[in-house]
Amino acid sequence: MIEFIGTSKQYRLDKKIIKALDHIDLKVNKGDIFGVIGFSGAGKSTLIRTVNLLETPTEGKVIVDGKDLTTLSRRQLREEKKNIGMIFQHFNLLSSKTVFDNVAMPLTLSGVNKREIEKRVNEVLKFVGLESKTNAYIDQLSGGQKQRVGIARALVTNPKILLCDEATSALDPQTTKSILELLKRVNIEYNITILIITHEMEVIREICNRVAVMENGQIIETGNVLEIFSAPKTKTTRDFVQSVVRDEIPQSIYEQLQVANPNERIFKLKFIGVDVGQPIVSEVAKKFSVDINVLFGNITELQKIPFGNLIIEIVGADTETEKVVQFIKNRNVQIEEVLANGSKPRNYSGSDLGNAIYG
Partner 1 sequence: MEVSREIILGAIWETLYMVSIGLFFGATLGLILGITLVVTRKGHILENRWVFGIVNPIVNIFRSIPFIILLVAIIPFTRLIVGTAIGTTAAIVPLVLHIGPYISRLIENSLLEVDEGIIEAAKAMGATPWQIIRKFLIPEAFPSLILSVTTATIGLIGATAMAGAVGGGGLGDVAITYGYQRFDEMTILVTVILLVAFVQLIQTIGNRLERHFRHSS
Instruction: Note the residues at the interface with partner 1 (CB under 8 A).
Output: 52, 54, 77-82, 84, 86, 88, 90-97, 105-106, 108-110, 137-139, 163
Rounded to a whole number of angstroms, the minimum distance from the CB of residue 95 to partner 1 is: 4
Rounded to a whole number of angstroms, the minimum distance from the CB of residue 52 to partner 1 is: 6
Q: Give me the sign of the Cα torsion angle 227, 230, 233, 238.
A: positive
Rounded to a whole number of angstroms, the minimum distance from the CB of residue 22 to partner 1 is: 23
Nearer to partner 1, 58 or 278 (CB): 58
Burial code (b: 16+ CB inside 10 Å, e: under 16) for 165-193 equals: bbbbbebeeebbbebbebbeebbeeeebb
Rounded to a whole number of angstroms, the minimum distance from the CB of residue 96 to partner 1 is: 4
166 CB contacts (<8 Å, ≥6 apart)?
45, 88, 89, 197, 198, 199
23 CB contacts (<8 Å, ≥6 apart)?
6, 7, 8, 59, 60, 218
Rounded to a whole number of angstroms, the minimum distance from the CB of residue 83 to partner 1 is: 10
Rounded to a whole number of angstroms, the minimum distance from the CB of residue 86 to partner 1 is: 4
Nearer to partner 1, 97 or 329 (CB): 97
Nearer to partner 1, 21 or 295 (CB): 21
d(CA 39, CA 1): 25
Nearer to partner 1, 155 or 225 (CB): 155
d(CA 38, CA 236): 8
Nearer to partner 1, 88 or 288 (CB): 88
d(CA 303, CA 298): 17
Rounded to a whole number of angstroms, the minimum distance from the CB of residue 109 to partner 1 is: 5
Nearer to partner 1, 79 or 255 (CB): 79
Burial class (CB in 10 A: 0-12, 13-18, 19+), 344: exposed
Nearer to partner 1, 43 or 106 (CB): 106
- 242 closest CA partner among 213, 277, 201, 300: 201
Q: Residue 61 pairs with which residues in a beta bridge?
A: 5
Nearer to partner 1, 11 or 348 (CB): 11
Rounded to a whole number of angstroms, the minimum distance from the CB of residue 114 to partner 1 is: 16
> CA-CA distances (angstroms) from residue 197 to 120, 169, 205?
28, 10, 13
276 CB contacts (<8 Å, ≥6 apart)?
299, 306, 307, 308
